Chains A and B, each alone.
Chain A
């Protein structure tokens, strides 16, 4: 597997459990010059207070802080984000990547935050968020479609963007762009 074809977020997975870390061109995520705006800073404080020890790492840019959590803690973290009075993240913007990013937004407080979680690249799986936000249903279907992430508890993961019977996970970096032939 060449450098360019590595799925995003795999580096973090490699750090934790994967044997034989493969060479890659470095994590695209962590950078130095991330700065939060005033409102973002305030949101980050609230987020840290709500997450407590569950947050493994934290950062942010502009108005959107993020916090990285373990898969095991994901379900309770998401629930806390939605129900915590200081956060009240009542709208889910999307679910994404093998490093799943839950971009949360609060209509009540006009705040945004991102919850990150790393999934193993070979069998990515995460608990569903459909019981918290109805909007999660389609995002999860899409993530399942394009990246093959299994969402436990979401029993409707039928193909959404792809046709039924499509082979492969076209969202992954390992899926060729030009070499793929449809027919």
Chain B
């Protein structure tokens, strides 16, 4: 018997995260790679699990709003909105029209800020360092406006069950208009730099493809689903607040690759700015808080409310037992659901694509882990 030297090639396990500059927080994925090819991926989450849902069962309704601020910490107002709306539906309260308009305006500005953050960090993921400076500069304008209106840059705690904490400052309209004007120019600047950049196209086109059927089955929502060519937007499908009265398009991609997801978000920025302008024109005068008790104590019952978050369809399942604390709060976090599609998108990708694909999902770990 000859002892032939046996050489075995095995796939290398590469652990990406939870400390890795491109995992946008404490996401971790274990890649098994053959050279530069990804043979398998296993995502691990939970590093930021704070038990927000459990915690909500021990806080009064007003306090839960602050927990929702901390779920998706780059689109706080959108999160507040969905919880507030769930509670309102349960209590049978409707916010005054003015409050609804202001909420819509702030949420859309928040969406632009969130998308700008995405565009910047995504460009950074694929190696371009300039867009992030441009988009952060623009996002700063929104943050300043929010600080002016709500008193906080991130954890606003501004929406209330039945309206708003307080009316907006007197110069709200003109400040919003000036911010919108500048944002539009800022988004255009980034658009010109990045969208048709040759290297950017090479890195994102045909990468991380997911077809519409799989996207729906995986529960993808928001820009990730629309990138695959499904025109599903909660704002159109189940209009809430004042979206029915605003005219806007839902940008839809076709191939479900990273570029399509980017493009959908980019166009959504323009659409959101359009909406803000329309909403600002229609905003009536009036109270911003529905009359009634200040302490929310919804009747027994349960409700499932959802809304279009910048990342997708955020849902809240709220069960009340008639006390001043929710019996059960369950969040359907869009980033969490979008992550389910990750394994499918990464089939046959390169290591560098792993970063591009993960970035294109635009996850926020605060929301994934709750």
Residues of A near any B CB (own CB < 8 A): 8, 25-31, 33-34, 61-64, 90-94, 96-97, 101, 103, 105, 107, 110, 112, 114, 133-135, 137-138, 159-163, 170-171, 173, 175, 177
Flag if B217 contacts A31 (CB, 8 Å): no
| Chain B residue contacts of A133, Cβ below 8 A | 217-219
Provide the B116-137 mask, 1 if CB < 8 A to any CB of A, else 0: 0000000000000000000000
Q: Which single residue of chain A is at the shortest CB-CB distance from B225?
A: A107
| Chain A residue contacts of B330, Cβ below 8 A | 94, 96-97
Flag if B238 contacts A110 (CB, 8 Å): yes
Q: How far is the CB of A162 from chain B (nearest CB, A)?
A: 6
Q: Which single residue of chain B is at the shortest CB-CB distance from A29?
A: B302
Flag if B337 contacts A28 (CB, 8 Å): no
| Chain B residue contacts of A135, Cβ below 8 A | 217-219, 337, 340
Residues of B near any A CB (own CB < 8 A): 45-46, 49, 51, 53-55, 57-58, 89, 92, 214, 216-219, 221, 225, 230, 232, 237-238, 299-306, 313, 315, 317, 319-322, 327-328, 330, 332, 336-337, 339-341, 344, 369-370
**CB-defined A-B contacts under 8 Å, sample of 12:** A8-B319, A28-B322, A29-B300, A93-B306, A97-B328, A110-B232, A114-B304, A134-B218, A134-B341, A135-B337, A138-B336, A175-B54
Question: Please, how many angstroms separate the alpha-carbon atoms of A175 and B320 in the complex?
Answer: 19
Instruction: Given contacts A29-B302, A62-B303, list 10 more A-B pairs with CB under 8 A.
Output: A28-B322, A64-B304, A90-B216, A93-B315, A96-B317, A107-B230, A107-B232, A114-B304, A138-B340, A161-B49
Question: Please, how many angstroms separate the alpha-carbon atoms of A33 and B225 in the complex?
Answer: 35
Which residue of the partner chain, among B218, B301, B369, contacts A61 with CB atoms under 8 Å?
B301
Question: Please, how many angstroms separate the alpha-carbon atoms of A95 and B330 in the complex?
Answer: 10
| Chain B residue contacts of A159, Cβ below 8 A | 46
Question: Please, how many angstroms separate the alpha-carbon atoms of A94 and B329 in the complex?
Answer: 13
Closest 9 CB pairs of A and B: A135-B219, A28-B321, A161-B46, A31-B301, A161-B49, A110-B237, A134-B218, A134-B217, A31-B300
Flag if B45 contacts A112 (CB, 8 Å): no
Question: Please, how many angstroms separate the alpha-carbon atoms of A161 and B319 in the complex?
Answer: 22
Q: Which single residue of chain A is at the shortest CB-CB distance from B305?
A: A62
Given A31-B301, A107-B230, A163-B46: A177 in contact with B58 (beta carbons within 8 A): yes
Q: Which single residue of chain B is at the shortest CB-CB distance from A133?
A: B217
Flag if A171 contacts B238 (CB, 8 Å): no
Q: Which single residue of chain A is at the shortest CB-CB distance from B219?
A: A135
Given A64-B304, A160-B45: A28 in contact with B92 (beta carbons within 8 A): no
Which residue of the partner chain, among A28, A105, A171, contacts B53 with CB atoms under 8 Å?
A171
Given A28-B321, A107-B230, A110-B237: A91 in contact with B216 (beta carbons within 8 A): yes
Flag if B219 contacts A92 (CB, 8 Å): yes
Given A94-B330, A138-B339, A161-B369: A103 in contact with B304 (beta carbons within 8 A): yes
Question: Please, how many angstroms separate the alpha-carbon atoms of A55 and B105 in the complex?
Answer: 42
How many A-B residue pairs have C-beta atoms within 8 angstroms? Tell me: 114
Question: Please, how many angstroms separate the alpha-carbon atoms of A142 and B108 in the complex?
Answer: 31
Flag if B321 contacts A25 (CB, 8 Å): yes
Flag if A28 contacts B300 (CB, 8 Å): yes
Q: How far is the CB of A109 from chain B (nearest CB, A)?
A: 10
Flag if A33 contacts B301 (CB, 8 Å): yes
Question: Please, how many angstroms separate the alpha-carbon atoms of A21 and B75 in the complex?
Answer: 45
Flag if A31 contacts B230 (CB, 8 Å): no
Flag if B337 contacts A33 (CB, 8 Å): no
Flag if B89 contacts A62 (CB, 8 Å): yes
Question: Please, how many angstroms separate the alpha-carbon atoms of A162 and B214 in the complex?
Answer: 27
| Chain B residue contacts of A107, Cβ below 8 A | 216, 225, 230, 232
Question: Please, how many angstroms separate the alpha-carbon atoms of A134 and B55 in the complex?
Answer: 29
Flag if A8 contacts B216 (CB, 8 Å): no
| Chain B residue contacts of A105, Cβ below 8 A | 313
Q: Which single residue of chain B is at the shortest CB-CB distance from A145?
A: B46
Question: Please, how many angstroms separate the alpha-carbon atoms of A28 and B370 in the complex?
Answer: 24
Q: Which single residue of chain B is at the shortest CB-CB distance from A116?
A: B302
Question: Please, how many angstroms separate the alpha-carbon atoms of A31 and B319 in the complex?
Answer: 11
Flag if B302 contacts A28 (CB, 8 Å): yes
Flag if A34 contacts B317 (CB, 8 Å): no
Question: Please, how many angstroms separate the alpha-carbon atoms of A135 and B89 in the complex?
Answer: 27
| Centre residue among B306, B341, B344 by max chain A CB count within 10 A | B306
Given A103-B304, A103-B332, A135-B340: A93 in contact with B49 (beta carbons within 8 A): no
Q: How far is the CB of B43 from chain A (nearest CB, A)?
A: 9
| Chain B residue contacts of A92, Cβ below 8 A | 219
